[in-house]
Amino acid sequence: MHAETLLTETLIGAVRPEHPLTKLKTVTPKRFAAADHIVVSRRGRAHGPIDEQLAGMGLSRRIIAVVPSFASALRLARETDVVCAAPARLGRSMLAALGLRTFPIPLALPDIAIGMAWHPRNHHDRTHALLRERTRHIMTTSARP
């Protein structure tokens, strides 16, 4: 397989405007952990780096659902009192369109790498190369500050 990192992304917390966390001046790890959470995982994994960081502080969070995409997680966050971790730059337009409020996640999380991968048989295919070039362009322009 060929693979290429397109960009790195920072995760932020996203909630509906009426969520109790929006009334706080600062979201602490304890208050962050006390909220209900929705997790995005294509593989159905409920726990990850956020949970590892919280565990190191003696905290854990209540995960009420695991969904396969940020789009579905953000739509649920708009309708319910759950916290969703979302990509800060790539999610910007959807966060705004849904009217969600964002805040820095109060943990030392690593950035996430967003990339693409393709089979070697497609590496020299001109149409596939054009698709990869357009994908690069869209991803980098969408992620601009």
Amino acid 145: pLDDT: 67
Tokens 């966050």 belong to 77
User: CA of 82: how far to CAs of 17, 48, 55, in Å?
Assistant: 11, 17, 20
Digit-coded pLDDT (tens) for 63-118: 999 999 999 999 999 999 999 999 998 888 899 999 999 999 999 999 999 999 99
Examine the pLDDT at 143 and tell me if it is beyond 80.
no
**To the nearest 5 percent, what fractions of the chain are helix, strand and coil?**
40, 30, 35
Q: To the nearest whole percent, how much of the chain has pLDDT over 70?
A: 99
* Bridge partners, 2 (sequence order): 118
Amino acid 68: pLDDT: 94
Amino acid 1: pLDDT: 95
Amino acid 4: pLDDT: 95
Exposed (0-12), middle (13-18) or buried (19+): which is 11, by Cβ within 10 Å?
A: buried
Give the residue among 32, 15, 5, 14 at the shortest CA–CA distance from 112: 5
**What is the mean pLDDT of the segment spanning 22-28?**
92
Amino acid 144: pLDDT: 73
Amino acid 44: pLDDT: 83
Contact in structure between 136 and 6 (CB atoms under 8 Å): yes
**What is the mean pLDDT of the segment spanning 113-132?**
96
DSSP 106: S
